[in-house]
Chains A and B, each alone.
Chain A
Protein backbone atom coordinates (compact mmCIF):
# COMPACT_ATOMS: atom_id res chain seq x y z
CA UNK A 1 0.00 0.00 0.00
CA UNK A 2 1.43 3.35 -1.05
CA UNK A 3 0.78 6.24 1.30
CA UNK A 4 -0.16 9.63 -0.23
CA UNK A 5 2.94 11.40 1.09
CA UNK A 6 5.13 8.85 -0.67
CA UNK A 7 3.37 9.57 -3.98
CA UNK A 8 3.97 13.27 -3.53
CA UNK A 9 7.64 12.68 -2.86
CA UNK A 10 8.20 10.49 -5.88
CA UNK A 11 5.96 12.64 -8.10
CA UNK A 12 8.52 15.41 -7.86
CA UNK A 13 10.96 13.23 -9.71
CA UNK A 14 10.22 13.39 -13.41
CA UNK A 15 10.82 10.70 -15.98
CA UNK A 16 13.09 11.11 -18.95
CA UNK A 17 10.90 11.06 -22.05
CA UNK A 18 7.45 12.57 -21.99
CA UNK A 19 4.60 13.73 -24.11
CA UNK A 20 2.19 16.66 -24.12
CA UNK A 21 -1.26 16.26 -25.67
CA UNK A 22 -3.21 19.39 -26.58
CA UNK A 23 -6.82 18.22 -26.67
CA UNK A 24 -8.06 21.64 -27.83
CA UNK A 25 -6.36 21.33 -31.21
CA UNK A 26 -6.73 17.57 -31.67
CA UNK A 27 -9.27 17.02 -34.44
CA UNK A 28 -9.52 13.27 -33.91
CA UNK A 29 -8.38 12.56 -37.48
CA UNK A 30 -6.66 9.26 -36.51
CA UNK A 31 -3.48 10.10 -38.42
CA UNK A 32 -1.46 9.20 -35.32
CA UNK A 33 -3.16 5.81 -35.11
CA UNK A 34 -2.23 5.03 -38.72
CA UNK A 35 1.32 6.37 -38.39
CA UNK A 36 1.86 4.31 -35.25
CA UNK A 37 0.65 1.14 -36.94
CA UNK A 38 2.99 1.73 -39.88
CA UNK A 39 6.00 2.57 -37.74
CA UNK A 40 5.65 -0.25 -35.27
CA UNK A 41 4.50 -3.15 -37.51
CA UNK A 42 1.12 -3.33 -35.82
CA UNK A 43 -1.18 -5.75 -37.61
CA UNK A 44 -4.65 -5.13 -38.91
CA UNK A 45 -6.73 -7.80 -37.22
CA UNK A 46 -9.77 -7.65 -39.46
CA UNK A 47 -13.47 -7.27 -38.84
CA UNK A 48 -14.20 -10.53 -37.07
CA UNK A 49 -11.43 -10.37 -34.47
CA UNK A 50 -12.12 -6.69 -33.98
CA UNK A 51 -15.66 -7.68 -33.06
CA UNK A 52 -14.25 -9.83 -30.28
CA UNK A 53 -12.39 -6.78 -28.94
CA UNK A 54 -9.04 -8.03 -30.19
CA UNK A 55 -8.15 -5.02 -32.32
CA UNK A 56 -4.59 -3.90 -31.91
CA UNK A 57 -3.61 -0.27 -31.47
CA UNK A 58 -0.82 1.32 -29.48
CA UNK A 59 -2.62 4.65 -29.60
CA UNK A 60 -6.33 5.31 -29.91
CA UNK A 61 -8.56 8.38 -30.00
CA UNK A 62 -11.10 8.33 -27.20
CA UNK A 63 -14.22 10.42 -27.49
CA UNK A 64 -16.93 10.96 -24.94
CA UNK A 65 -20.34 12.61 -24.98
CA UNK A 66 -21.89 14.91 -22.46
CA UNK A 67 -25.64 15.09 -21.96
CA UNK A 68 -28.57 13.00 -23.14
CA UNK A 69 -29.30 12.16 -26.79
CA UNK A 70 -30.16 14.16 -28.96
CA UNK A 71 -28.70 17.11 -27.03
CA UNK A 72 -25.22 15.67 -26.87
CA UNK A 73 -22.07 17.71 -26.68
CA UNK A 74 -18.87 16.03 -27.69
CA UNK A 75 -15.94 16.49 -25.35
CA UNK A 76 -12.48 17.13 -26.83
CA UNK A 77 -10.81 14.12 -28.45
CA UNK A 78 -8.41 12.32 -26.19
CA UNK A 79 -5.51 10.40 -27.73
CA UNK A 80 -4.74 7.54 -25.36
CA UNK A 81 -1.49 5.64 -25.43
CA UNK A 82 0.83 4.00 -22.92
CA UNK A 83 1.53 6.66 -20.33
CA UNK A 84 5.01 5.22 -19.67
CA UNK A 85 4.29 5.35 -15.92
CA UNK A 86 7.12 5.98 -13.53
CA UNK A 87 5.52 3.49 -11.18
CA UNK A 88 3.68 1.21 -13.57
CA UNK A 89 1.00 -1.20 -12.45
CA UNK A 90 1.73 -3.56 -15.33
CA UNK A 91 5.30 -4.25 -14.26
CA UNK A 92 5.08 -5.97 -10.87
CA UNK A 93 2.41 -8.45 -12.01
CA UNK A 94 4.36 -10.00 -14.88
CA UNK A 95 5.46 -13.50 -13.82
CA UNK A 96 8.07 -13.69 -16.61
CA UNK A 97 9.60 -10.21 -16.08
CA UNK A 98 8.72 -9.48 -19.69
CA UNK A 99 7.44 -6.01 -18.88
CA UNK A 100 10.26 -4.26 -17.07
CA UNK A 101 11.25 -0.70 -16.37
CA UNK A 102 14.15 0.60 -18.40
CA UNK A 103 16.59 2.26 -16.04
CA UNK A 104 18.46 3.87 -18.92
CA UNK A 105 15.51 5.44 -20.77
CA UNK A 106 12.92 5.52 -17.95
CA UNK A 107 10.40 3.75 -20.14
CA UNK A 108 8.21 0.72 -19.65
CA UNK A 109 9.56 -1.99 -21.86
CA UNK A 110 7.88 -5.01 -23.32
CA UNK A 111 10.41 -7.76 -24.00
CA UNK A 112 8.65 -9.88 -26.63
CA UNK A 113 10.93 -12.88 -26.40
CA UNK A 114 10.31 -13.14 -22.67
CA UNK A 115 6.55 -12.71 -22.83
CA UNK A 116 4.59 -15.91 -22.29
CA UNK A 117 1.19 -14.32 -22.83
CA UNK A 118 -0.47 -14.45 -19.43
CA UNK A 119 -2.13 -11.08 -20.26
CA UNK A 120 -1.90 -10.17 -16.58
CA UNK A 121 -0.27 -6.82 -17.42
CA UNK A 122 -3.11 -5.80 -19.74
CA UNK A 123 -5.66 -6.64 -17.08
CA UNK A 124 -3.75 -4.56 -14.57
CA UNK A 125 -3.23 -1.52 -16.81
CA UNK A 126 -5.60 1.26 -15.71
CA UNK A 127 -5.35 2.93 -19.13
CA UNK A 128 -6.17 -0.25 -21.12
CA UNK A 129 -3.48 0.50 -23.69
CA UNK A 130 -1.92 -2.91 -24.09
CA UNK A 131 -2.88 -5.17 -26.93
CA UNK A 132 -2.42 -8.88 -27.30
CA UNK A 133 -1.53 -10.88 -30.42
CA UNK A 134 -4.35 -13.40 -30.49
CA UNK A 135 -3.20 -14.84 -33.81
CA UNK A 136 -0.37 -14.73 -36.31
CA UNK A 137 -1.74 -12.32 -38.85
CA UNK A 138 -0.42 -13.05 -42.34
CA UNK A 139 0.77 -10.22 -44.54
CA UNK A 140 0.68 -11.21 -48.21
CA UNK A 141 3.56 -10.27 -50.51
CA UNK A 142 3.43 -6.51 -51.22
CA UNK A 143 2.33 -5.72 -47.66
CA UNK A 144 5.23 -7.63 -46.11
CA UNK A 145 7.60 -5.09 -47.66
CA UNK A 146 6.29 -2.31 -45.48
CA UNK A 147 7.61 -3.80 -42.24
CA UNK A 148 9.87 -1.47 -40.30
CA UNK A 149 13.17 -3.36 -39.99
CA UNK A 150 13.99 -1.56 -36.74
CA UNK A 151 11.02 -3.07 -34.92
CA UNK A 152 10.40 -6.71 -34.05
CA UNK A 153 7.52 -8.39 -35.86
CA UNK A 154 5.59 -9.89 -32.98
CA UNK A 155 4.19 -13.37 -33.12
CA UNK A 156 1.09 -14.96 -31.65
CA UNK A 157 0.72 -15.05 -27.88
CA UNK A 158 2.74 -11.93 -27.14
CA UNK A 159 1.63 -8.73 -25.45
CA UNK A 160 2.63 -5.42 -26.97
CA UNK A 161 2.24 -1.72 -26.31
CA UNK A 162 3.52 1.75 -27.12
CA UNK A 163 7.29 2.05 -26.70
CA UNK A 164 7.51 5.84 -27.23
CA UNK A 165 9.18 4.79 -30.52
CA UNK A 166 12.27 3.55 -28.68
CA UNK A 167 13.80 2.59 -32.04
CA UNK A 168 13.80 6.29 -32.97
CA UNK A 169 15.28 7.20 -29.59
CA UNK A 170 18.10 4.72 -30.15
CA UNK A 171 18.63 5.85 -33.73
CA UNK A 172 18.90 9.49 -32.67
CA UNK A 173 21.25 8.60 -29.80
CA UNK A 174 23.39 6.51 -32.13
CA UNK A 175 23.56 9.32 -34.71
CA UNK A 176 24.40 11.90 -32.05
CA UNK A 177 27.09 9.68 -30.59
CA UNK A 178 28.66 9.06 -34.00
CA UNK A 179 28.84 12.84 -34.45
CA UNK A 180 30.20 13.34 -30.94
CA UNK A 181 27.36 15.38 -29.52
CA UNK A 182 24.25 15.10 -27.34
CA UNK A 183 20.76 14.48 -28.71
CA UNK A 184 19.18 17.86 -29.51
CA UNK A 185 15.57 18.55 -28.54
CA UNK A 186 13.31 18.24 -31.58
CA UNK A 187 15.91 16.29 -33.54
CA UNK A 188 13.53 13.37 -33.72
CA UNK A 189 10.02 12.65 -32.58
CA UNK A 190 7.64 9.73 -32.31
CA UNK A 191 5.62 8.53 -35.30
CA UNK A 192 2.35 9.83 -33.85
CA UNK A 193 3.73 13.29 -33.12
CA UNK A 194 5.33 13.43 -36.56
CA UNK A 195 2.08 12.53 -38.31
CA UNK A 196 -0.18 14.87 -36.32
CA UNK A 197 -1.33 17.58 -38.76
CA UNK A 198 -2.47 19.86 -35.94
CA UNK A 199 0.69 19.39 -33.85
CA UNK A 200 -1.43 18.31 -30.91
CA UNK A 201 1.19 15.79 -29.82
CA UNK A 202 4.62 16.93 -28.66
CA UNK A 203 7.35 14.57 -27.59
CA UNK A 204 10.63 15.26 -25.84
CA UNK A 205 12.65 15.29 -22.65
CA UNK A 206 10.56 16.19 -19.62
CA UNK A 207 13.62 16.35 -17.37
CA UNK A 208 15.07 19.17 -19.47
CA UNK A 209 13.39 22.52 -18.59
CA UNK A 210 14.48 24.00 -21.95
CA UNK A 211 12.80 21.34 -24.11
CA UNK A 212 9.64 22.04 -26.09
CA UNK A 213 7.50 19.70 -23.96
CA UNK A 214 8.57 21.41 -20.74
CA UNK A 215 8.04 24.86 -22.27
CA UNK A 216 4.57 23.91 -23.56
CA UNK A 217 3.61 22.44 -20.21
CA UNK A 218 4.73 25.62 -18.51
CA UNK A 219 2.89 27.85 -20.98
CA UNK A 220 -0.39 25.93 -20.85
CA UNK A 221 -0.43 25.88 -17.08
CA UNK A 222 -2.30 23.17 -15.26
CA UNK A 223 -2.28 19.94 -17.17
CA UNK A 224 -3.98 16.67 -16.40
CA UNK A 225 -2.20 13.40 -15.89
CA UNK A 226 -4.73 10.66 -16.19
CA UNK A 227 -5.49 8.54 -13.11
CA UNK A 228 -2.65 10.22 -11.30
CA UNK A 229 -4.40 9.43 -8.04
CA UNK A 230 -3.43 5.79 -8.49
CA UNK A 231 0.20 6.77 -8.01
CA UNK A 232 1.29 5.56 -11.44
CA UNK A 233 3.33 8.72 -12.21
CA UNK A 234 2.37 8.94 -15.91
CA UNK A 235 4.66 10.80 -18.30
CA UNK A 236 1.94 12.03 -20.65
CA UNK A 237 0.27 15.35 -19.81
CA UNK A 238 -3.08 16.39 -21.29
CA UNK A 239 -4.24 19.99 -21.74
CA UNK A 240 -7.73 21.18 -22.55
CA UNK A 241 -9.83 24.33 -22.19
CA UNK A 242 -6.85 26.65 -22.31
Chain B
Protein backbone atom coordinates (compact mmCIF):
# COMPACT_ATOMS: atom_id res chain seq x y z
CA UNK B 1 0.00 0.00 0.00
CA UNK B 2 2.68 2.50 1.11
CA UNK B 3 4.94 1.34 -1.73
CA UNK B 4 2.19 2.06 -4.26
CA UNK B 5 1.74 5.56 -2.78
CA UNK B 6 5.47 6.29 -3.13
CA UNK B 7 5.46 5.01 -6.71
CA UNK B 8 2.57 7.34 -7.53
CA UNK B 9 4.37 10.29 -5.92
CA UNK B 10 7.50 9.63 -8.03
CA UNK B 11 5.70 10.11 -11.35
CA UNK B 12 5.49 13.73 -12.73
CA UNK B 13 1.90 14.32 -11.55
CA UNK B 14 2.84 13.16 -8.02
CA UNK B 15 5.85 15.49 -7.94
CA UNK B 16 3.62 18.41 -8.89
CA UNK B 17 1.20 17.45 -6.08
CA UNK B 18 4.09 17.35 -3.57
CA UNK B 19 5.27 20.74 -4.82
CA UNK B 20 1.83 22.31 -4.45
CA UNK B 21 1.44 20.89 -0.93
CA UNK B 22 4.84 22.22 0.17
CA UNK B 23 4.04 25.63 -1.33
CA UNK B 24 0.69 25.72 0.49
CA UNK B 25 2.27 24.81 3.86
CA UNK B 26 5.01 27.40 3.36
CA UNK B 27 2.61 30.20 2.47
CA UNK B 28 0.32 29.46 5.44
CA UNK B 29 3.37 29.55 7.73
CA UNK B 30 4.61 32.80 6.19
CA UNK B 31 1.14 34.35 6.55
CA UNK B 32 0.96 33.20 10.19
CA UNK B 33 4.33 34.74 11.00
CA UNK B 34 3.44 37.98 9.22
CA UNK B 35 0.26 38.19 11.34
CA UNK B 36 2.34 38.24 14.53
CA UNK B 37 4.35 41.17 13.18
CA UNK B 38 1.33 43.40 12.54
CA UNK B 39 0.15 46.07 14.93
CA UNK B 40 -3.18 45.17 16.54
CA UNK B 41 -6.46 46.63 15.34
CA UNK B 42 -7.24 49.87 17.18
CA UNK B 43 -10.70 51.44 17.69
CA UNK B 44 -9.46 54.56 15.87
CA UNK B 45 -6.65 54.43 13.31
CA UNK B 46 -4.77 57.00 15.36
CA UNK B 47 -2.04 58.75 13.34
CA UNK B 48 0.84 59.43 15.74
CA UNK B 49 2.77 61.02 12.89
CA UNK B 50 0.21 63.80 12.40
CA UNK B 51 -0.03 64.60 16.11
CA UNK B 52 3.73 64.71 16.63
CA UNK B 53 3.97 66.95 13.54
CA UNK B 54 1.62 69.43 15.26
CA UNK B 55 4.20 69.66 18.05
CA UNK B 56 2.22 67.78 20.70
CA UNK B 57 4.59 66.30 23.28
CA UNK B 58 4.42 62.59 24.18
CA UNK B 59 3.79 63.52 27.82
CA UNK B 60 0.72 65.58 26.92
CA UNK B 61 -1.26 62.43 26.12
CA UNK B 62 0.80 59.95 28.19
CA UNK B 63 1.48 62.02 31.34
CA UNK B 64 1.80 58.97 33.61
CA UNK B 65 5.25 58.25 32.19
CA UNK B 66 6.75 61.13 34.15
CA UNK B 67 4.87 60.36 37.37
CA UNK B 68 4.58 56.64 37.85
CA UNK B 69 4.88 53.11 36.55
CA UNK B 70 2.28 53.34 33.79
CA UNK B 71 2.38 55.89 30.97
CA UNK B 72 -1.35 55.61 30.40
CA UNK B 73 -3.51 55.84 27.32
CA UNK B 74 -5.68 58.99 27.11
CA UNK B 75 -9.43 58.89 27.60
CA UNK B 76 -11.69 60.41 24.96
CA UNK B 77 -12.07 63.60 27.03
CA UNK B 78 -8.44 64.47 26.32
CA UNK B 79 -8.85 63.93 22.57
CA UNK B 80 -12.10 65.92 22.62
CA UNK B 81 -10.49 68.95 24.24
CA UNK B 82 -8.80 69.68 20.93
CA UNK B 83 -11.04 67.82 18.52
CA UNK B 84 -14.30 69.57 19.41
CA UNK B 85 -12.72 72.74 18.05
CA UNK B 86 -11.74 71.10 14.78
CA UNK B 87 -14.39 71.23 12.06
CA UNK B 88 -13.10 68.06 10.40
CA UNK B 89 -14.08 66.00 13.46
CA UNK B 90 -17.76 66.35 12.48
CA UNK B 91 -17.30 64.97 8.99
CA UNK B 92 -14.35 62.58 9.23
CA UNK B 93 -15.23 58.89 9.06
CA UNK B 94 -11.98 58.07 10.82
CA UNK B 95 -13.07 60.07 13.87
CA UNK B 96 -16.60 58.66 14.05
CA UNK B 97 -15.71 56.23 16.88
CA UNK B 98 -14.31 59.14 18.92
CA UNK B 99 -17.50 61.16 18.47
CA UNK B 100 -19.54 58.10 19.37
CA UNK B 101 -17.45 57.53 22.50
CA UNK B 102 -17.91 61.14 23.65
CA UNK B 103 -21.68 61.02 23.13
CA UNK B 104 -22.21 57.60 24.72
CA UNK B 105 -19.59 58.03 27.47
CA UNK B 106 -18.21 54.57 26.76
CA UNK B 107 -14.39 54.61 26.73
CA UNK B 108 -12.43 53.87 23.57
CA UNK B 109 -10.84 50.47 24.01
CA UNK B 110 -7.29 51.11 22.87
CA UNK B 111 -5.11 48.03 22.53
CA UNK B 112 -1.73 48.39 24.29
CA UNK B 113 1.11 47.73 21.89
CA UNK B 114 4.25 47.97 24.03
CA UNK B 115 3.84 45.39 26.75
CA UNK B 116 6.01 43.45 29.14
CA UNK B 117 4.98 40.14 30.75
CA UNK B 118 3.26 40.04 34.13
CA UNK B 119 6.45 38.93 35.89
CA UNK B 120 8.25 42.11 34.88
CA UNK B 121 7.66 45.20 37.01
CA UNK B 122 8.43 48.15 34.79
CA UNK B 123 8.42 51.75 36.00
CA UNK B 124 8.30 54.56 33.43
CA UNK B 125 9.12 57.28 35.96
CA UNK B 126 12.57 55.94 36.79
CA UNK B 127 13.49 55.72 33.11
CA UNK B 128 12.32 59.23 32.27
CA UNK B 129 14.09 60.58 35.38
CA UNK B 130 17.28 58.83 34.27
CA UNK B 131 17.15 60.86 31.06
CA UNK B 132 15.86 58.21 28.68
CA UNK B 133 13.72 59.48 25.85
CA UNK B 134 10.51 57.80 24.74
CA UNK B 135 11.91 56.93 21.31
CA UNK B 136 14.75 54.87 22.82
CA UNK B 137 12.26 52.08 23.44
CA UNK B 138 9.14 53.02 21.48
CA UNK B 139 10.74 54.10 18.23
CA UNK B 140 10.39 57.39 16.41
CA UNK B 141 6.67 58.18 16.58
CA UNK B 142 7.02 61.02 14.07
CA UNK B 143 7.48 58.34 11.44
CA UNK B 144 4.70 56.01 12.57
CA UNK B 145 0.98 56.11 12.04
CA UNK B 146 -0.86 53.51 14.11
CA UNK B 147 1.45 52.53 16.97
CA UNK B 148 3.70 49.57 16.30
CA UNK B 149 6.23 47.95 18.54
CA UNK B 150 9.66 48.62 17.06
CA UNK B 151 11.47 45.96 19.10
CA UNK B 152 10.92 42.92 21.23
CA UNK B 153 11.02 43.90 24.89
CA UNK B 154 13.04 40.95 26.10
CA UNK B 155 15.51 40.84 28.96
CA UNK B 156 18.51 41.26 26.68
CA UNK B 157 17.09 44.53 25.37
CA UNK B 158 16.66 45.88 28.94
CA UNK B 159 19.99 44.61 30.25
CA UNK B 160 22.06 45.89 27.33
CA UNK B 161 20.92 49.41 28.13
CA UNK B 162 21.18 48.93 31.93
CA UNK B 163 24.78 47.78 31.65
CA UNK B 164 25.68 50.58 29.30
CA UNK B 165 24.12 53.21 31.57
CA UNK B 166 25.83 51.84 34.68
CA UNK B 167 29.24 51.87 33.03
CA UNK B 168 32.04 51.68 35.60
CA UNK B 169 29.84 52.69 38.55
CA UNK B 170 29.82 49.43 40.52
CA UNK B 171 27.04 50.42 42.93
CA UNK B 172 24.78 51.44 40.08
CA UNK B 173 25.56 48.26 38.17
CA UNK B 174 24.65 46.10 41.18
CA UNK B 175 21.29 47.84 41.41
CA UNK B 176 20.60 47.80 37.67
CA UNK B 177 21.39 44.14 37.01
CA UNK B 178 19.84 42.83 40.23
CA UNK B 179 17.04 40.32 39.53
CA UNK B 180 14.91 41.95 42.24
CA UNK B 181 14.91 45.29 40.48
CA UNK B 182 12.41 44.04 37.89
CA UNK B 183 11.19 40.59 39.00
CA UNK B 184 9.10 40.23 42.14
Contact = CB atoms under 8 A, between A and B. Distances in A.
A153 B82 CA distance: 39
Interface residues of B, number: 16
A102 B180 CA distance: 6
Interface string B107-136: 000000000011101010110010000000
B179 interface: yes
B129 A177 contact: yes
A152 B119 contact: yes
Contacts, number: 50
A104 B121 contact: no
A111 B179 contact: yes
A103 interface: yes
Nearest to A102: B180
A167 B118 contact: no
Interface string A110-149: 0111000000000000000000000000000000000000
- Which secondary structure dominates chain A's binding surface? loop
Interface in B148-182: 174-175, 178-181
Q: Could you say which interface size class chain A belongs to?
A: 20 to 34
Contacts of A103: 174, 178
A63 interface: no
Contacts of A216: none
B97 to A, nearest CB: 27
A105 B178 contact: yes
A1 B121 CA distance: 38
Interface in B77-130: 117-119, 121, 123, 125-126, 129
Nearest to B184: A166
Contact of A150 (B119, B121, B126, B179): B121
Given A104-B178, A152-B119, A152-B184, 5 more contacts: A109-B183, A150-B121, A152-B183, A153-B118, A178-B129
